[in-house]
Structure 1
Amino acid sequence: MEYVGEFLGTFILVLLGNGVVAGSVLKDTKATSTGWVMITLGWAAAVTIGVLVSGFYSPAHINPAMTIAMATIGAISWDVVPGFIIAQLLGAMLAAIVLYVHYLPHWEISDADSVLASFSTAPAKRDVFSNLFGEMLSTAVLVVGVMAMGPNNLAGGIAPIMVGLIVLAIGLSLGATTGYAINPARDLGPRIVHQFLPIKGKRDSDWGYAWIPVVGPILGGIIGAVLYNMVLSGL
């Protein structure tokens, strides 16, 4: 059931998260041009509900970077990591397909960059060091924030809301440079779907950039988890 939880949680995460992006950037929706604040609020809500749904069945990582970080510090067994990541990727891909159907009349009337933005992230300014550092930093903050919830002994049911608030803070404060993927499945799964969907006039899927929202979050997640554990150990 843990794999089902990761699948469902990531599905909800991407469905609602990419859904708010599509609503804002695609042409002639009722939310067109609502902007960055709306997107960050929508993503925060998407994370909250994704964690809430997933938490009944699994650790509610819904993010390969979180899964790998937790395995690195021994919080989970490496045996479950491949299955978690596959479930997360499949959940993200299915969500992207469902969103394609949901926004069907809007794809071909929207510009190609906005179409791609509805599936995956892209930087405001292309700079490998800055973009990679941004994804690493943002994901490290995410992992540290989530790990810090344990010692604070939060009341039951508060945890998903707090995770959403962490993601909201990251989006508002750090996310404007890269679009804050902070989650390889959230970016890679829908990007693969974009590659194969029959959208007239679409652009390439920007595979030259695609490694940054995969490698950056994984490295940042590991660094955040290790540093937080060092602090707890008094080192």
Structure 2
Amino acid sequence: MTEFFGEFLGTFILILLGNGVVANVNLDKTHSKGAGWIVITAGWGMAVYVAVLATADISGAHLNPAVTLGLAFSGLFEWVKVLPFILAQILGAMFGATVVYLFFKNHFDITTEPGAKKACFCTAPAIRSYGSNFFSEVIGTFVLVLAVLLITLPQLDYVSLGSDKVGMGSLGALPVALVVFSIGMSLGGTTGYAINPARDFGPRIVHTLLPLKAKDDNDWSYFWVPFFGPVAGAGLAALVYLIINLMIN
């Protein structure tokens, strides 16, 4: 249960800080209203850094079903733990989104643009084209998961050490944060770069349930893109990782 709590806590921190920076930039009468895309991508990168640093030694700090699945597809994580980890991540994301709402409630109340408020919870495409949007999420997640597999795991050598906390590790916090920052800056403008099913799905549920004023449509017809796109990206990253391992060995 300690590992699952670590995933819940880490994903909570990730969403609190990540969706928090979106709220800071989008909602009316915050001091950083209109600060822009660079602030959002930097904030998300630092959210990853803090969340991974805080929970790496507890659970391996997956904090993302795509990372969990990428590790499992690669044979580096037990399949029996996959569903409990994903459930903990979704619940942590829901809790994080709820606290963001409570933290910024006064600003949510005075913001009149429904889309600006929804963006504080879940993603939406800049141009709606399901095929292109799905491709964006696949490629963004592919970069993230491949980075986790190729950069962090070999450095920490969790598998050879026999650890059951296979994941990023505290030493991987900064490299992975920079990867997320890079993805956001370079590839994030098309869909808002969910690259994490829990990050979009959990807060979208919260947005659906909360009694927001001037509430936007929850857009459940789109949710499958940021949910299954990252899953496909994780599978592709695992395949490339396994091919590279075969070539090297």
TM-score normalised over the length of structure 1: 0.96
State the AA in 2 paired with 1:136: V
Out of 212, 216, 240, the residue aligned to residue 203 of structure 1 is 216
| Alignment partners' CA distance in 1, 2:246 and 2:188 | 30
Q: What is the Cα deviation at residue 158 of structure 1?
A: 3.3
| Alignment partners' CA distance in 1, 2:69 and 2:178 | 22
State the AA in 2 paired with 1:209: Y
Q: Between Structure 1 and Structure 2, which shows a larger proportion of helix residues?
A: 2
| Alignment partners' CA distance in 1, 2:64 and 2:192 | 16
- Are 2:37 and 1:36 aligned? yes
| Alignment partners' CA distance in 1, 2:217 and 2:101 | 17
Q: What is the Cα deviation at residue 152 of structure 1?
A: 5.8
Which consecutive unaligned segments of at least 5 residues does structure 1 have?
none
Q: How many residues align?
A: 235
Deviation per residue, 1:67-116 (Å, 9 max, x gap): 11211121111100111011000100001111111001111322100010
Q: Which position in structure 1 is the counterpart of 2:234?
A: 221
| Alignment partners' CA distance in 1, 2:170 and 2:243 | 28
- Are 2:199 and 1:186 aligned? yes
Q: Which position in structure 2 is the counterpart of 1:99?
A: 100
| Alignment partners' CA distance in 2, 1:53 and 1:81 | 21
Query: Which secondary structure state, in structure 2, belongs to the residue aligned with residue 233 of structure 1?
Result: helix
- Are 2:123 and 1:121 aligned? yes
TM-score normalised over the length of structure 2: 0.91
| Alignment partners' CA distance in 2, 1:134 and 1:212 | 9
| Alignment partners' CA distance in 2, 1:9 and 1:225 | 23
Deviation per residue, 1:145-175 (Å, 9 max, x gap): 1111147637x84310011000011000111
Q: What is the Cα deviation at residue 18 of structure 1?
A: 0.2
C-alpha RMSD over aligned residues? 1.5
After superposing on structure 2, the runs of 4+ consecutive aligned residues of structure 1 that deviate more than 3 Å are none
Which consecutive unaligned segments of at least 5 residues does structure 2 have?
157-168
Distance change >3 Å, CA 69–CA 151, structure 1 → 2: closer
